[in-house]
Amino acid sequence: MTRRDFARRAFVLSTAAWAGPLFVPGHREAMARTRDTVTAPAGTTLERSILTTGTGPYFDLTFGPGWPLVVRGELAAPKTGREGRRIALTAFLHTTDYQFPDVQSPARVEFLDRDADDPGSSEVSGAFRPQEALVIHATEAVHRRVNTIAVGPVTGRPLDFTMCTGDNFDNAQLNELEWFLTLMNGGEVRPNSGDPDVFESVQSFDEPAFYDPHYYHPERVEDPRGSDIYKRHFGFPDYPGLLAAAGAPFTAVGIDTPWYSIWGNHDALVQGNERPNPVYQAIATGGTKILAPPPGLAPADFMRGLADQDPTVVALIHLAPARPVGADPARRFITAHDYIDYHLKAGGRPAGHGFTEDNLDQQTLYYTFDIAPRILGIGLDTTSPRVNLGSIGETQLAWLEEQLVAVHSRHVDRGGTEVRSSNEDRLVVVFSHHRESSMVPMQGPDHAGRLERRYGGDAVRELLNRFPNVIAWVNGHSHVNRVEPRPDPQGRTGGYWDITTSAQIDPPQQARVIEVADNRDGTLSILTTIFDHAGPPETAVGAYDVEGLAAISRELAFNDYQSDWEHLLGTPQDLNVELLLAAPFDVTPAAGAPPQQAPEPEPAPLPATGGGLGGVAVGALAIGAATALRRRGQQD
């Protein structure tokens, strides 16, 4: 039926990753240890999880047992009694890849996703998802859940801040940016564009001339070609009135904590892949929705021609199958200047949400901020000027090294020599949109047009491994839950942890609380806990308040035939975990005592399994800028 065998799919959905006692060997023992360690599990997957139920082909969701806290000692061995000694240093929320789209925008290219008749056989996917009109409600449900959690579940420390690591919306549009800022600060959100009285998307085009069975249509449609492939092959239900509810205004509660923002490829580029140009702009703000390429022109060639503003391709636009829709100037594409300026004017805490007037003047999207007295946060801009692969410019890389030097009393310079200074030591947490394995070297201009060499993730890793106070690199982009150790291969420092959190646009629609604690025994613990959004696992026709819509979003996402959700979810080692590492200095000295240098860390043992599939990531992601929409279930 598809490239993903249905029998395998049914087995995985019904028995594997979510089934409590099957989730990890020694589950009962691990849960017993977790209960002794955790202070406030309520609202997180330490308390309960969500699992699938039923026999298919369409699966419902229900509550299941909680997941354990898995201890990982690849970078430092855990010492007994640390739970009673530890001192919480910070607790914060990590969210990423909300990527909620303006589904009514004419600039969206859903036809790339459904180019083949057989489900799952399309070369490119990610341009259409059955849940996409409801992802903004799932995002709001994340905020509602975290506001009730309020504290780090292990240490009980109140959450200090929230970090959104990019792809905060989908299509680099001004109205999407405004929705994001309102979601973060609170207020009325109107997730509608074009004609305010009509919901106009490929899911609502039910007229015989425009109906396309390749898309999920939640309304019941009587069409001589039969029901859409989602209903016909996979048993997707009818949800009468769903799209009207999806476009209705709602009141966002806003995040209770101060929050910071990172710039991602979907915030900067059309559909996350191409730099905006006048042709795209005219399509986005105009009143014509293109439904397929012009006759005789392949989708990839059509998109490449629009990206390059090829006059021979642009001249054919009027021949493309299309439908009239409401025009909307608020769909215009934003610039880096817009992104920073709107953050500076948004209100809420802190002012600018990481960005400053200097960022605005220089059009730079990287910054530092104080997490706690002994912890520095560094927000990077890894978004490339034209492709979804990440990179970092040489100017920013030099800036990053300067920031690290300033908070280290000792580090290793580029030549391999240890340097000591009187600088006050601070722990460092680095944040970016892309992770190491989704960054590659390239040449090109930055967002202000400055041409310079751009580096890949290996250059960032090499730099971070020269600075012992770096404890974590927190990121998104890959839509997966992954946690991997990054030891220094030369043993000069104790290494750091690479922490990637999954997306809201795709299953499992989760977020992560991260806590840092000093164990007072020469080690630190980074404690990460996954939580589900506030929508219930069950859904119902007509239950269309915000949390009911969020619940439908999650259920549709888990049943999307193109979504390899078990890959996106990850393993127990990627979810609720305690990550040990050597304390690079005495982080919490006795009151009145000067900070003391911790003993030199011994070279950390390499993990038993490899630390990532960077080469595979580059191969899976580099599929041509014009048509390189993210494949569902991509390798990370």
At 460-473, the pLDDT tens digits run 999 999 999 999 99
In one-letter notation, the amino acid at residue 243 is L
Positive or negative: CA dihedral 554, 176, 500, 586: negative
| Mean pLDDT, residues 445-455 | 87
Letter string b/e over residues 299-325, b meaning 16 or more CB atoms within 10 A of that residue's CB = bbbbbbbbbeeeeebeebbeebebbeb
Helix 457-464, helix 394-405: angle, nearest 10: 10
| Mean pLDDT, residues 31-35 | 78
Bond from prior residue into 508 cis (ω within 30 degrees of 0)? yes
| CA nearest to 504, candidates 44, 129, 63, 203 | 129
Letter string b/e over residues 5-32, b meaning 16 or more CB atoms within 10 A of that residue's CB = eeeebbebbbeebbebeebbeebeebbe
Length of the chain in terms of residues written = 636
- 358 sits in which H/E element: helix 357-362
Query: CB-based contacts of 520: which residues, under 8 Å, 6+ apart?
Result: 82, 85, 86, 87, 588
Query: Is it the case that residue 10 has pLDDT exceeding 60?
Result: no
State residue 629's pLDDT score. 41
Query: Is it the case that residue 339 has pLDDT exceeding 90?
Result: yes
Positive or negative: CA dihedral 303, 307, 312, 317: positive
Burial class (CB in 10 A: 0-12, 13-18, 19+), 402: exposed
Q: How many CA atoms lie within 13 A of 206 on its CB side?
A: 13
State residue 610's pLDDT score. 33
Residue 496 and residue 486 in contact, taking contact as beta carbons nearer than 8 Å: yes
Query: Per residue in 312-334, pLDDT tens?
Result: 999 999 999 999 999 999 999 99
Query: Is it the case that residue 276 has pLDDT exceeding 80?
Result: yes
Assign 115 a pLDDT band (cuts: 50, 70, 90).
low
Query: Is it the case that residue 601 has pLDDT exceeding 70?
Result: no
| CA nearest to 216, candidates 238, 197, 198 | 238
| Token pair listed for 425 | 């030591």
| Mean pLDDT, residues 579-592 | 83
In three-state secondary structure terms, 353 is: helix
Pairing type for strands 451-455 and 442-445 reads antiparallel
| Mean pLDDT, residues 168-189 | 98
State which of 59-68, 385-394, 627-636 shows the largest mean pLDDT: 59-68
Query: Is it the case that residue 144 has pLDDT exceeding 50?
Result: yes
User: Distance between CA atoms of 433 and 500, rounded to whole angstroms?
Assistant: 9
User: Distance between CA atoms of 472 and 371, rounded to whole angstroms?
Assistant: 13
State residue 487's pLDDT score. 98
| Token pair listed for 207 | 């007229």
State residue 24's pLDDT score. 54
In one-letter notation, the amino acid at residue 139 is T
Label each residue of 401-459 as H, E or C.
HHHHHCCCCEEECCCCCEEECCCCCCEEEEECCCCHHHECCEEEECCCCCEEEEECHHH
For residue 132, give the DSSP letter: G
Assign 449 a pLDDT band (cuts: 50, 70, 90).
confident
Query: Per residue in 485-500, pLDDT tens?
Result: 999 999 999 999 999 9
Assign 376 a pLDDT band (cuts: 50, 70, 90).
very high
| pLDDT higher at 10 or 524 | 524
Query: CB-based contacts of 540: which residues, under 8 Å, 6+ apart?
Result: 548
Q: Which of 299-308, 352-361, 529-538 has the lowest mean pLDDT?
A: 299-308
Give me the residue label for tokens 């600075």: 467
State residue 56's pLDDT score. 86
User: Distance between CA atoms of 350 and 258, rounded to whole angstroms?
Assistant: 6
Phi then psi for residue 144, to 5 deg, are -65, -40
State residue 34's pLDDT score. 82
- Percent of residues, the chain, with pLDDT higher than 70: 86
For residue 352, give the DSSP letter: G
Query: Is it the case that residue 592 has pLDDT exceeding 50?
Result: no
| CA nearest to 37, candidates 84, 101, 100 | 84
Assign 32 a pLDDT band (cuts: 50, 70, 90).
confident
User: Distance between CA atoms of 316 and 391, rounded to whole angstroms?
Assistant: 34
Q: Which of 20-34, 157-171, 391-405, 492-506 has the lowest mean pLDDT?
A: 20-34
Query: Per residue in 146-158, pLDDT tens?
Result: 999 999 999 999 9
Indicate the average pLDDT of the chain.
87
State residue 224's pLDDT score. 63
Residue 169 and residue 101 in contact, taking contact as beta carbons nearer than 8 Å: yes
In one-letter notation, the amino acid at residue 125 is S
State residue 227's pLDDT score. 87
| pLDDT higher at 626 or 304 | 304
Alpha carbon 313 to chain centroid, angstroms? 34
| Mean pLDDT, residues 392-418 | 97
Give me the residue label for tokens 């200047």: 337
| pLDDT higher at 20 or 537 | 537
Give the pTM. 0.90
State residue 624's pLDDT score. 33
Query: Is it the case that residue 386 has pLDDT exceeding 50?
Result: yes
Q: Which of 528-542, 559-573, 614-628 has the lowest mean pLDDT?
A: 614-628
| CA nearest to 529, candidates 518, 516, 540, 515 | 515
Query: Is it the case that residue 595 has pLDDT exceeding 60?
Result: no
| CA nearest to 233, candidates 210, 211, 216, 218 | 216
Burial class (CB in 10 A: 0-12, 13-18, 19+), 208: exposed
Query: Per residue in 218-263, pLDDT tens?
Result: 987 776 667 899 999 999 999 999 999 999 999 999 999 999 999 9
Query: Is it the case that residue 139 has pLDDT exceeding 90?
Result: yes
Residue 368 and residue 377 in contact, taking contact as beta carbons nearer than 8 Å: yes
Pairing type for strands 161-164 and 259-261 reads parallel
CATH of domain 6-287+325-627: 3.60.21.10
